[in-house]
Structure 1
Amino acid sequence: MNEWRPIAILANVQVIEAIGNDKLAVAGISDARIGDCISAQPELKDFLSRFTDAHGIVRKPSVIIAHSSIAKDDLNMDMVAGFRDVISICCILEARQKTLRYGRNAGPIYSNSFSLYPWMLSPHMNRLVAITPAIEAIHRLDKFHGQTSPEIPIHDINAQSSDKGLVSLLLSRWR
């Protein structure tokens, strides 16, 4: 059994080096844990390969993954959104201070870079589900064309993109 499972997509940041803890992480498609998820669920590779920007350029979304030690009943959107908020805050604060220091944009400086993508693979893996305050829907994976948000640039994220001390402190309190 795979120790990690995909939970949500961040289409507007490209994670180069995972950020998180032993329960939840945001990882890029080159992360070994994402590779394990793809091996267990081949449809995930198809889903992740279907993202482009407004000009049709292929983009590599990032994936929030949860460790199997978190019971499915305990894993909810409040937990996922809280984790995303911690990562977002730490990356935005780091990018803002680097922007001030270097006089140029140095990473994601707006929280919508970390918006959760509304569509995700269903547990049945042959279709997509979207459950948001605005919609509840299902759709076929073979008809899906994922898009990044055109109003914000795609930024690479790695361990240096966030305040490591703040991430560690907030995630220790967040548990």
Structure 2
Amino acid sequence: MKYKMALKWTALGALPNLDMRSKVFVGEHLALVGAEDVRYQDALANGLNLQTFLSKFEGNHGQRLRPSLLVRSDAYPDRPNSEAISSFMDIVTACVVIDSRVRAVTWRRNVGPFYTDAFEIYPWMIDPEGKRLVAQNAAQWAVHELDRFRGIASAAVPVQEVGYDPTHPRFFKQLLAMWKSRFIDGNDDWRSRAVLRSLKMAASAMCLSSPTGSTESFYDYGRILSLWVSAFEILVHPGATGKANRQKVLDLLKTIPWQSKMAMEETHPADFGGGKTFNVRLANALYVKMYELRNDFLHGNPVEPEDFLLPNGTSILSFPPAIFRMALSTMLLDPDAVTREQAMSGLKSRDEYLQHLSTTRYRSDCEECLLAAVKPQPPDDE
């Protein structure tokens, strides 16, 4: 969807660790844009001394940076609150970092922003009058002089470029519709609340374990796994009249339309505790292991590092993003979907069907990632 550039855009925050090249993450009310985007230029024109503020950012070794910007349009009925901003950023990170993590497993190398920390909004921002800097978060409320400011990117994560592939515009469009319904239209339905709240847990699970990223320990794995299990449980929670549990998550995972026989067949053993082992689908077996490990960690039961390893040597922590992405796809309305039957009958054109296949290729990526949990692993030098 294209929006009229008659809208006036105003900067809300700078992201020095992000070089946003993609123009996908744009809504009518909020957008995350890079320096080449017309909305970025509009924000510079509308922000007194904003250009000066942004020119003061450097990398950790003195290199000049051009921070990306979170911008708001004048179509927004009021200044967005922190929940609306945080939720919007969770949507963006879900569209980028989940896919990066899936491909890191299938390609066996890091192919993009692996941690959501790269999307952190810098705590200092120039005030609307362009006269001073203001920092406001849970740790501080402070003001300072612009002339003395020196902005610097986080030392914990590299400055990351986000290009046009992969960014999954359809996924963003689906999630943005939920965000708009809640924060702009005021429709606080449980489904959108559950999805957006679940994304917050997923975003937290994909953060660095510490501010420096250098002190990660075995115990951090339990925290990460706990956040992922929480994300799944929130996703299936029925609302005030019910509760989430392991079976509800397993029921959701069983509806995922995997393509391969290995992923679909109920031949993968899962230990449900109490001496009960059943054969289930692969995604379900992996979730059962996640769930039991989470319980052991949170309850203080004995847990060893090798408990995180699957029989083929892969880590259980490699697979929650792919399963979560596919679980989400079963819950989001997709008005642009085109089926093979529609194309065969002439209701949709061949080009429309090919475009659908292109924009839903994440399914193949997620399935390939999932199968890495049971296939023999190639040598590290391959």
TM-score by length of 2: 0.44
CA RMSD of aligned residues (A): 1.6
Tell me whether 1:9 sits opposite 2:14 in the alignment.
yes
Q: For residue 95 of structure 1, what is the aligned residue in structure 2?
A: 100
Q: For residue 54 of structure 1, what is the aligned residue in structure 2?
A: 60
Q: For residue 109 of structure 2, what is the aligned residue in structure 1?
A: 104
Deviation at 1:2, TM superposition (A): 6.1
Q: For residue 64 of structure 1, what is the aligned residue in structure 2?
A: 70
Rg bigger for which structure? 2
Distance across 1 between alignment mates of 2:166 and 2:150: 28
> What is the 5 A alignment of 1:10-159?
10-18=15-23, 19-73=25-79, 75-159=80-164
Segment drifting more, 56-65 vs 163-172: 163-172
Segment drifting more, 158-167 vs 108-117: 158-167
Distance across 2 between alignment mates of 1:124 and 1:42: 6
Deviation at 1:90, TM superposition (A): 1.3
Letter in 2 for 1:24: L
- Gapped runs of 5+ residues in structure 2? 1-5, 181-382
Segment drifting more, 34-43 vs 122-131: 34-43
SS at match of 1:169: helix
CA shift in 2, pair 1:45/1:119, >3 Å = same
Letter in 2 for 1:96: R
Q: For residue 174 of structure 2, what is the aligned residue in structure 1?
A: 169
Deviation at 1:126, TM superposition (A): 1.6
Letter in 2 for 1:173: M
Q: For residue 246 of structure 2, what is the aligned residue in structure 1?
A: none
Distance across 2 between alignment mates of 1:114 and 1:63: 10
Contact 1:8/1:65 (<8 A) preserved: yes
CA shift in 2, pair 1:22/1:159, >3 Å = farther
Distance across 1 between alignment mates of 2:52 and 2:102: 37
How big is each residue's C-alpha offset from its partner over 1:29-59, in whole Å with a ceiling of 9 and x where there is no partner? 2211111221233411111111111111111
Query: Hey, which of these two has a bigger chunk of helix by percent?
Result: 2
CA shift in 2, pair 1:31/1:172, >3 Å = same
State the identity as a percent. 29
Letter in 2 for 1:7: L
How big is each residue's C-alpha offset from its partner over 1:108-147, in whole Å with a ceiling of 9 and x where there is no partner? 1111111121011101112111110110011111111111
Deviation at 1:158, TM superposition (A): 2.8
CA shift in 2, pair 1:161/1:119, >3 Å = farther
Query: Hey, which of these two has a bigger chunk of strand by percent?
Result: 1
CA shift in 2, pair 1:58/1:81, >3 Å = same
Distance across 2 between alignment mates of 1:120 and 1:171: 25
TM-score by length of 1: 0.92
Distance across 2 between alignment mates of 1:98 and 1:163: 14
Structure showing greater relative contact order (alpha-carbon pairs closer than 8 Å, 6 or more residues apart): 1
